[in-house]
Amino acid sequence: MDDRLIRFDVKTNKSGSLVPLESLKNIPFDIKRVFYIYGVDPEKKRGQHTQKTLKEVVVCLRGKCKIRLEDATGEKTFELDRPDTGLYIGPMVWREMSDFSSDCILLAVADQLYDEKDYVRDYQEYRKVAGLHG
């Protein structure tokens, strides 16, 4: 899996902290879209899909949540709970977000505009497309 945690350089001064996210600097692609998720029921899961070509970095700006990633090479669960750390998710990785704290704000930056055609939302279809068996 091509996933990786990216620790951002935090600009902290007497009045607080700031984290710049910049295309092809601390974000490994050209940013074309930004979105954020909040107000998620802690009992509910989100994601449960892959995107065939999208590159994404997610950052938990407040609170915490878990992100489980899976592809042909294995699976991994990350607990995101710091605004200075992003998780890179490459193409064709199945992702499932869960265990959201009620104050969680999850920011995502992506290299493409929203395109439903890039999604695979059916897990069995994903396994087939990704060459996973069993």
Per annotation, catalytic residue among 46, 49, 68, 127: 49
Q: Is 37 in the site for ligand TYD (CB under 6 A)?
A: yes
Nearer to ligand TYD, 35 or 102 (CB): 35
* Residue 46 binds to ligand TYD (criterion: CB under 6 A): yes
Q: How far apart are CA 126 and CA 132, in angstroms?
A: 8
**Which span (13-21, 29-37, 58-66, 85-93) binds ligand TYD, by CB under 6 A?**
29-37
Residue 36 near ligand TYD by CB under 6 A: no
Asked whether 62 and 39 are in contact (CB, 8 A), the reply is no
**Is 49 a residue of the active site?**
yes
Least Å distance, CB 7 to ligand TYD, is: 24
Structure token digits, residue 58: 């997610």
List the one residue from 7, 12, 73, 114 that touches ligand TYD (CB under 6 A): 114
Among 35, 62, 72, 79, binds ligand TYD (CB under 6 A): 35
Active site residues: 49
Binding site for ligand TYD (CB under 6 A): 33, 35, 37, 46-47, 114
